[in-house]
Amino acid sequence: MSIQPHLSFIMPGRVAMMADDIATGSGMGSAEGKMEVMAEASRVTLKDIAQRLGLSTATVSRSLSDTGEHRDQTVRLVKETAKEMGYIRNTAAADLVQGKSHALAVILSNTKTNFDSSIIEGIEQSAAERNLDVLILHAGNADLQAQRRAITTAVERAVRGIILVSLELQESLIATIEQVGMDCISLSSFVGGGRLPCITSDDYQMGYEATQFLIDQGHRRIGLAGIPQHGSITLRISGYRQCLEDNSIPYRESLVFRGGCLYQDGIATMKHCLKSKEPITALIGASDLVAMGAINQARDQGLDVPSDVSVMSFDGTDIVDMVRPTITSVTQAFHRMGVEGVKALLSADKPSSRFLPFRIISRQSTGPGPCLHGDHK
């Protein structure tokens, strides 16, 4: 689903009017505004429910919000009647009265990834357990204006907090968040050198351990594909390089291929490597998509994976088990990131940065390297 950077929607299904529209009556002169007036006129209110049941409006309100000390029978009757009449709670108006927002803002980049959905599922699960809405905002790809619009929208809606998902936020906007004092946490990215708290995986350690896994299988000419130019993800290169050096294997810049964690990056990298005078025996993709592209290109060229070249990936999403050969992966806890992110953001204590554990799962796409077959070049 494609969402423009300035658009947003409420999940997981509760309908809410925004507080600034309620306060100012904005938009009422437009066609959309007239439609809103008509909708407002036909909307079932607390007073309507109270009249139907012969109860006070206050009793109906407290029953629907599970506050007060009314009998279970009364609360159940009020809720059943509200559902029957088609009552929709005006969340933002209630927030104004209570002085407390019931929404979290989640800001995503437009980079094509296949793990964001797992993080968002974790966020939605954790938010639903706390009766909170989730406002999804898209912030482009390193697009300052799109990021500013997303942050502004979140601040204007007075959300409980902001969750950044795999987003490298611009420095000026980090300062804006700090200035307004809004709680914010980053998932799957280490933003601003740690100025914002984050819950993510240790990119350096993942790079190190992925490389060590292949070295232990006898590989010495190991490529790294699809790594972006900027952001905490580049720490995977540092881990990869240090592991090579610790195993007395020369680091070759020519074996590090930049990209955007895309399927096409895997294709381009494998094409280049197959023409090289020093071909790789193993490749680590910056994402599952990169690894899948590399595997498909290798097979299109008549090579066998893993007999001719081993391929593994970072992420470990569902697709690693959907392709053949299945892909060996550095598997991250994305769903847990979402759950833990909401929990940390709403904690009474100030959120602190931490790494979640990851694990390497061996599958069909990796096998013994030349060194285990007697080739020590």
Residue range(s) occupied by CATH 3.40.50.2300 in the chain: 98-200, 203-332+359-373
* pLDDT exceeds cutoff 90 at 317: yes
339 pLDDT band, cuts 50/70/90, is very high
Cα 307 to the center of its chain, rounded Å: 35
Percent of the chain with pLDDT over 90: 54
The backbone torsions φ and ψ at residue 275, rounded to the nearest 5 degrees and listed phi first, read: -95, -10
Task: Tokens for 254, please give them.
Answer: 């020519």
Q: Exposed (0-12), middle (13-18) or buried (19+): which is 53, by Cβ within 10 Å?
A: middle
Q: How far apart are CA 139 and CA 142, in angstroms?
A: 8
Secondary structure of the chain: what % helix, strand, coil (to 5)? 45, 15, 40
Residue range(s) occupied by CATH 1.10.260.40 in the chain: 19-89
pLDDT score recorded for residue 89: 65
pLDDT score recorded for residue 88: 65
**Sheet of 8-11: strands edge to edge?**
8-11, 133-138, 103-108, 162-165, 184-187, 198-200, 354-355
Query: What average pLDDT does the segment 212-218 reach?
Result: 97
Largest CA distance in the chain: 88
Query: What average pLDDT does the segment 272-292 reach?
Result: 93
Amino acid at 25: G
Q: How far apart are CA 129 and CA 119, in angstroms?
A: 16
Q: 10 Å Cβ neighbour count for 116?
A: 20
Residues 127-182: pLDDT tens digits? 999 999 999 998 877 788 888 889 888 888 889 999 999 988 878 888 888 888 88
Domain 203-332+359-373: CATH class, spelled out: alpha beta
Residues 83-122: pLDDT tens digits? 888 776 655 455 544 446 789 999 998 766 778 999 999 9
Question: What is the architecture, at CATH level 2, of domain 98-200?
Answer: 3-Layer(aba) Sandwich (3.40)
Mean pLDDT of the chain: 83
Residues 22-80: pLDDT tens digits? 333 344 344 344 334 334 445 688 889 999 999 998 888 888 877 767 778 888 999 99
| More confidently predicted of 23 and 374 | 374
248 pLDDT band, cuts 50/70/90, is very high
Closest to 11 measured CA to CA, from 132, 93, 122: 132
Alpha helices in the chain, H assignment, sequence order: 19-24, 31-42, 46-53, 57-64, 72-85, 91-98, 116-129, 144-156, 171-180, 203-216, 235-246, 263-275, 288-300, 334-346
Q: How far apart are CA 341 and CA 346, in angstroms?
A: 9
Name the CATH superfamily, with its identifier, for domain 19-89: lambda repressor-like DNA-binding domains (1.10.260.40)
pLDDT score recorded for residue 213: 98
Residues 231-246: pLDDT tens digits? 889 999 999 999 999 9
Query: What average pLDDT does the segment 277-292 reach?
Result: 94
Q: How far apart are CA 94 and CA 229, in angstroms?
A: 45
Is the pTM higher than 0.75? Answer: no
